[in-house]
């Protein structure tokens, strides 16, 4: 299975890069690269860091109820986890990492699993809401390109995810899940319980942080896009950034390389802009973001070293506790 995923990813990346080559004028590409000043890079870097910190603090809000020390640890774990998203398909590495290190938090890994799923749903909803607002601004200025209209229809359902989560909270589904599932799957009930016990106030806080983080990321790409000379209206730019972000999460390429740039450039051309500055902005934004995330993760990993030294050795720890060591 892993081999076929690798083959599919390599094929997807190759096709996407060929599409980029067909869209881009190389002289314009070099010119767009040269247009990126140090001030533009620093501005984009600041927006990227803000998005990273907001996303990490969102996790702290979700695990509220733990001690102050646990919250600080959760914040650092969230920062470290984001670095795994750069090397795992569909950005699942950060989710898996946070679940793996949650064994010492209240509710353990079952609760962490439920909260990770909740965070994903709210994050998708935030992007969907922003896209619909951007689409409305495009529609106010004239008839948007058909591809943007199709995406708007697709984002209608994800935008309602917070309402679905509120329904889960009220239905107390964990009780039904606990009764229906066998004992060996009791962690599923714990995951559902984690979602159902999140208060509406915390849900709104998480949604607000998600929207703020998404806006910061859009600013990161936008600063680079306008610095590279991309002549695109803010609404179209926002829509293109969001669609490209979802396109890179599809398991059809190697870490989204090529797919995100091709998607962003294609949407830019559909909106009447040039492809070269779009490719430059998108590629630079993701390269810069993952570089900064990695640097932050290395710094936080050092601080977390005493707390993560035992990850991957749960059976050894269990035997030591049983032996009274």
Q: In this predicted model, what pLDDT tens digit does every residue of 155-176 receive, in sequence order?
A: 999 999 888 877 766 665 555 5
pLDDT in tens, 200-255: 888 899 999 999 999 999 999 999 999 999 999 999 999 999 999 998 888 777 77
Span 60-76, mean pLDDT?
A: 79
Q: How confident is the model at residue 71 (pLDDT cuts 50, 70, 90)?
A: confident
- Rounded Cα–Cα distance for residues 306 and 21 (Å): 47
- Best-predicted range by mean pLDDT among 110-114, 195-199, 320-324? 110-114
Count Cα neighbours of 179 within 13 Å in the Cβ-side half-sphere.
4
In a domain, 299, yes or no: yes
Average pLDDT, the chain: 82
pLDDT for the residue numbered 89 = 73
pLDDT for the residue numbered 26 = 78
In a domain, 134, yes or no: yes
- Rounded Cα–Cα distance for residues 77 and 301 (Å): 8
Which range marks the domain in which residue 94 is found?
12-306
In the chain, the number of structural domains is 1
| pTM (predicted TM-score) | 0.83
In a domain, 312, yes or no: no
- Best-predicted range by mean pLDDT among 69-73, 87-91, 129-133, 266-270? 129-133
279 is written with which tokens? Answer: 């490719």
In a domain, 118, yes or no: yes
- Best-predicted range by mean pLDDT among 21-25, 169-173, 275-279? 275-279
pLDDT for the residue numbered 215 = 97
pLDDT for the residue numbered 313 = 46
In a domain, 190, yes or no: yes
In a domain, 51, yes or no: yes
In a domain, 5, yes or no: no
Q: Are 154 and 128 in contact (CB under 8 A)?
A: no
Q: Are 46 and 226 in contact (CB under 8 A)?
A: no
Q: Is 280 exposed, middle or buried (0-12, 13-18, 19+ CB in 10 A)?
A: buried
Q: How confident is the model at residue 56 (pLDDT cuts 50, 70, 90)?
A: very high
pLDDT for the residue numbered 21 = 72
pLDDT for the residue numbered 91 = 77
The answer, yes or no, to whether residue 320 has pLDDT greater than 50, is no
pLDDT for the residue numbered 315 = 36
Task: Name the percent of the chain lying above pLDDT 70.
Answer: 78
The answer, yes or no, to whether residue 76 has pLDDT greater than 50, is yes
Which range among 48-52, 125-129, 192-196 shows the weakest confidence by mean pLDDT? 192-196
Span 113-137, mean pLDDT?
A: 93
In a domain, 196, yes or no: yes
- Rounded Cα–Cα distance for residues 236 and 141 (Å): 11
Residue with tokens 């208060």: 199
């Amino acid at each position: 299975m892993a081999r076929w995923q690798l083959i599919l990813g390599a094929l997807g990346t190759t096709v996407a890069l060929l599409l980029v080559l067909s869209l881009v004028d190389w002289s314009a590409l070099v010119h767009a690269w040269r247009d990126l000043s140090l001030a533009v890079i620093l501005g984009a870097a600041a927006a990227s860091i803000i998005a990273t910190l907001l996303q990490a603090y969102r996790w702290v809000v979700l695990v509220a109820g733990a001690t102050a020390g646990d919250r600080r640890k959760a914040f650092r774990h969230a920062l470290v986890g984001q670095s795994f998203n750069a090397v795992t398909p569909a950005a699942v590495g950060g989710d898996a990492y946070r679940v793996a290190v949650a064994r010492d938090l209240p509710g353990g890994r079952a609760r962490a699993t439920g909260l990770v799923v909740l965070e994903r749903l709210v994050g998708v909803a935030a992007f969907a809401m922003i896209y619909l607002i951007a689409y409305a601004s495009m529609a106010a200025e004239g008839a948007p390109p058909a591809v943007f209209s199709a995406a708007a229809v697709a984002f209608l359902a994800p935008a309602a995810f917070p309402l679905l989560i509120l329904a889960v909270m009220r239905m107390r589904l964990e009780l039904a899940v606990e009764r229906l599932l066998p004992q060996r799957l009791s962690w599923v009930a714990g995951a559902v319980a984690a979602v159902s016990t999140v208060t509406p106030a915390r849900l709104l806080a998480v949604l607000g942080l998600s929207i703020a983080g998404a806006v910061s990321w859009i600013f990161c790409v936008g600063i680079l896009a306008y610095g590279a000379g991309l002549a695109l209206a803010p609404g179209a730019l926002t829509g293109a950034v969001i669609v490209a972000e979802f396109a890179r999460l599809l398991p059809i390429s190697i870490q989204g390389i090529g797919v995100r740039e091709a998607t962003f450039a294609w949407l830019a051309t559909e909106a009447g802009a040039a492809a070269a500055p779009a490719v430059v902005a998108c590629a630079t934004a993701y390269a810069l973001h993952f570089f900064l995330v990695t640097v932050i993760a290395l710094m936080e990993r050092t601080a977390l070293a005493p707390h993560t030294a035992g990850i991957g050795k749960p059976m050894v720890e269990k035997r030591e506790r049983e032996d009274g060591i």
